Chains A and B, each alone.
Chain A
Amino acid sequence: MRDAKVSPHQVMSHTDQGEYSRTIFGFWVYLLTDFMMFAALFAVYVVLRKNTLNGPGPKELFDLRSALVQTLVLLFGTFFVGMAGVYAHRNKRRKTLLYFGLTFILNSLFLWLMVSDLRRLIEMGQTWKNSGFLSAYFTLVATFGVHVAFALLWTIVLLVPVLRGGIELFSLRRLVCLRMFWQFLNIIWIFIFSIVYLLRGIP
């Protein structure tokens, strides 16, 4: 077991440094492509949001308070993951596990709230099959939800080696990527919250 006071990245060989730097940058580029994909979904939402086919629209269907709660839950989840990243760099295994664990709990709560919101709509009879507006809304939000689900799975999978062995360079690289992924999701959510929910009243 390596000395816990020395951070993994301080004892990296040149080869490992290169790999770390490339992986983090490559992952960032991937996140940018994911941003672009969401941009296309946002474009579709903006174009189709008026096509309610005389059914209820954003103003009638979207619960602003519920969206605010989801936003805050996700934000705190992201805050915890930022903390987790810091402790991972400092090679503090326990604190890393704790904060990633908190991230997992809060973001699972977020996902549950989001899915409940969608279920509420479906039970009201407002499904994605009804109109262009509802299709665009469900597609955008559900795609986001799928991303969250993957991130939750990734969190569990990544914590197993940390639980067993500690934060080596091998794990640090991936924990940082996971941290970035959660933070990326939070940024997407800012726009979902703003454009879909806060601006629901715009005709």
Chain B
Amino acid sequence: MIDTHRGWNMSIKPTVLGLFFSLVAIVASYRIVNHYHFSNHVLVWEILILACVQTTLQLIFFLHIGLEARPRWNTLMLLFMIFLMFVLVGGSIWIMHHLDYNVMPPLDQL
């Protein structure tokens, strides 16, 4: 028998729940930007956290991550890649920021 992810492959409920959660997250993040006046620093954190939360919910409810039978290869590979994406994006931002500061001329001299 193939892995039906605890029956979620055959059930409408998770899909509907996923839609609901995503709508909430989207509307929330849109309102945060449009209606409230957070400082930039706080805004970045809020939006990124909401994005990560929505992603996690979509991964679970749409893509059924974490529900597969053991060994949970899907989940493990995902975690591995998420870690490396953080390293790549975070590392690149860190490196490029330092390079910018040290060796790039002021913007008006570019």
Residues of A within 8 A of B29 (CB): 194, 198
Distance of B93 from chain A, by nearest CB (Å): 6
Contacts A7-B10, A36-B85, A86-B9 given; does A75 touch B26 at CB 8 Å: yes
Distance of B102 from chain A, by nearest CB (Å): 15
Assembled-state Cα–Cα distance A46/B3 (Å): 39
Tell me which of A29, A72, A79 has the highest count of chain B C-beta atoms within 10 A of its own C-beta: A79
Residues of B within 8 A of A104 (CB): none
Grouping DSSP codes into helix (H, G, I), strand (E, B) and loop, the A interface class, with mixed when no group exceeds half, is: helix
Assembled-state Cα–Cα distance A194/B55 (Å): 11
CB closest residue in chain A, given B100: A47
Please tell me if the beta carbons of B40 and A201 are within 8 angstroms of each other in the complex.
yes
Contacts A64-B33, A82-B18, A194-B47 given; does A46 touch B89 at CB 8 Å: yes
Residues of B within 8 A of A75 (CB): 19, 22-23, 26
Contacts A9-B2, A89-B4 given; does A42 touch B59 at CB 8 Å: no
A203 within 8 A of partner (CB)? yes
Residues of A within 8 A of B78 (CB): 32
Q: Of the 9-residue stretches A20-28, A110-118, A119-127, which lies at the interface with chain B?
A: A20-28
Q: What does the 1/0 interface line of B55-91 toward A look like (CB < 8 Å)?
A: 1001100110000000001100110010011001100
**Contact of B81 (CB < 8 Å), options: A35, A46, A64, A190:** A35
**Contact of B30 (CB < 8 Å), options: A32, A47, A198:** A198
Please tell me if the beta carbons of A42 and B89 are within 8 angstroms of each other in the complex.
yes
Contacts A39-B88, A43-B89, A72-B26 given; does A86 touch B33 at CB 8 Å: no
Contacts A9-B2, A20-B2 given; does A190 touch B88 at CB 8 Å: no
Q: What does the 1/0 interface line of A3-21 toward B look like (CB < 8 Å)?
A: 0000101101000010011
Query: Using a Cβ–Cβ cut-off of 8 Å, how many residues does chain A contribute to the interface with B?
Result: 53
Count, A-B residue pairs, CB within 8 A: 126
Task: Give 29 pairs: A residue, B residue, CB < 8 Å, sorted on A.
Answer: A9-B4, A17-B1, A32-B77, A32-B78, A35-B85, A36-B85, A39-B88, A46-B89, A46-B92, A54-B107, A71-B26, A75-B23, A82-B14, A89-B10, A183-B58, A183-B63, A187-B58, A190-B54, A191-B55, A193-B26, A193-B51, A194-B29, A194-B50, A195-B51, A198-B29, A199-B43, A201-B40, A202-B43, A202-B44
Which A residues lie at the B interface, using CB under 8 A? Answer: 7, 9-10, 12, 17, 20-21, 25, 28-29, 32-33, 35-36, 39-40, 42-43, 46-47, 50-51, 53-54, 64, 68, 71-72, 75-76, 78-79, 82-83, 85-86, 89-90, 180, 183-184, 186-187, 190-191, 193-195, 198-199, 201-203
Which B residues lie at the A interface, using CB under 8 A? Answer: 1-4, 9-12, 14-16, 18-19, 22-23, 26, 29-30, 33-34, 40, 43-44, 47-48, 50-51, 54-55, 58-59, 62-63, 73-74, 77-78, 81, 84-85, 88-89, 92-93, 96, 107-108, 110
